[in-house]
Amino acid sequence: MSEKLIGAAIFGQSGGPTAVINASAYGVIRAALDAEEITKVYGAANGIKGVLEDRLYVMDEEDPEELKLLLHTPSSALGSCRYKIADPEKDDTDYKRILEIFKKYNIRYFFYNGGNDSMDTCNKVSRYMESVGYDCRVMGVPKTIDNDLYGTDHCPGFGSAAKYIATSCMEINKDARVYDNGMITIVEIMGRHAGWLAASAALATEFGSGPDLIYLPETDFDMDRFLADVQRVYDANGKVFVAVSEGIHYADGRFVSEAKTSATDGFGHAQLGGLAALLASIVKERTGAKVRGIELSLLQRCGAHLASATDIEEARSAGEEAVRQAVSGVSGMMIAFQRETVDGAYRCKLQLLPLSEVANYEKKIPLEWINAQHNGLNHAFIDYVLPLIQGEPKLPLVQSLPHYARLKKVLAK
């Protein structure tokens, strides 16, 4: 146990929202409010941007019962950002400003909740504070529906998105098969470089009502083979249900959706979308069948009403553990999950992973979990994902509609 570090804490949320990112927020904020070493708890408005712009909410001012509602409130309650921070060695303007804010509020604890890019930000802040000798403990809390963070068995947010996708695909499949004429349904699922989310549609098939074909970015997409696959199922059944990852790409690396888009997000990623409609028009032209393209869009990442209780609890505990570790002297680490099997049952163990190892790597689905035809998943994937979607949370409702946290968001001065 290292020396006690007394001071205030900042918690920030970054990157795309999830159904459970606020469960991690609750874990961090509640534990930080309860930690005697932490004198005050600030929530950064829009992640690191709120730090740079001195927009910090005083979490000590919030009603504890309202904070608890964060466990079931989707999306980033404090606001998020997609801000690409420079390398401190190349341009330290932002870091000088962050240090200034840290000194202004006597910040000694910094908790940052996000995916790959956010862990990179977190790592850079950690390195900079160390380099200038400012005593501050920096911890990363993982989050991404994409499930692509390196070094952790899985990521908070993924299990709930997977459950939403599996349930929705089961329902869509029921709907798309009611008429006795031909019908081809193409569902587009998020996932830029890793196919974890689209792969989760395999759960629907496993439980009796899901896609016939699934295409992932882990393998190269071949339009002719795809069309042959669809035609084969169509000829056999008269109905085809296809799930595709938004990030499917040709062998030369071009996204299949590329022709349709041009804009980029803050990190220089191509803005994808419209793939379902594009594939639907190609398939319709080729087969003459009735074809429907469906994009799960934002719904899949903010579907808190279908959240996995396992995911909520793991997200909360990751936040709590980050505070516990920081207070005990740890810094520069991300909380990671290790899967254990105890008496045949899934258990999730928390670990520490150096931020420098996790930042900017992307974890993809092992190729041996993908079938030989590259149009579906093997059972190893089902075994992997099934424990992550378990459990139905008891959602707070008002008039049978979700009851979300409404924070006061009192700005620090």
Least distance in Å: CB of 173 to its own copies? 9
What is the residue whose two structure tokens read 């991300």?
A: 334
Least distance in Å: CB of 211 to its own copies? 14
Nearer to its own copies by C-beta: 129 or 165?
Answer: 165
Q: Which of 254, 247, 250, 252 is closest to 273 using CA atoms?
A: 247
Nearer to its own copies by C-beta: 177 or 339?
Answer: 177
Nearer to its own copies by C-beta: 170 or 198?
Answer: 170
Least distance in Å: CB of 71 to its own copies? 14
Q: Residue 96, SS3?
A: helix
What is the residue whose two structure tokens read 């692509």?
A: 148
Candidates 146, 148, 212, 229; catalytic one = 146
Which residue(s) pair with 270 in the sheet? 264
Is 148 labeled as catalytic in the residue annotation? no
What is the binding site for its own copies (CB under 8 A)?
13, 17, 45-46, 49, 73-76, 79-82, 163, 166-168, 170-172, 174-180, 185, 203-204, 207-209, 274, 277, 292, 294-295, 297-299, 301-306, 308, 386, 389-392, 397-402, 404, 406
Nearer to its own copies by C-beta: 52 or 355?
Answer: 52
Rounded distance between C-alpha atoms, residue 19 and residue 190, angstroms: 14
Least distance in Å: CB of 19 to its own copies? 8
Rounded distance between C-alpha atoms, residue 405 and residue 198, angstroms: 30
Scored b (16 or more CB within 10 A) or e, 298-336 reads: eebbbbbebbbbbbbbbbbbbbbbbbbbbbeebbbbbbb
Least distance in Å: CB of 256 to its own copies? 18
Nearer to its own copies by C-beta: 176 or 327?
Answer: 176
Nearer to its own copies by C-beta: 149 or 165?
Answer: 165
CA 73 to chain centre: 15
Task: Output the DSSP codes for 251-297.
Answer: TTS-BTTGGG---B-TTS-B----HHHHHHHHHHHHH-S-EEEEE-T
Rounded distance between C-alpha atoms, residue 210 and residue 173, angstroms: 6
Beta strands in 115-248 (DSSP E): 137-142, 183-189, 213-215, 239-245
Tokens of 125: 């802040």
Q: What single-letter DSSP state applies at residue 387?
A: G
Least distance in Å: CB of 269 to its own copies? 14
CB-based contact 186:244 (threshold 8 Å): yes
Residues acting as catalytic residues: 146
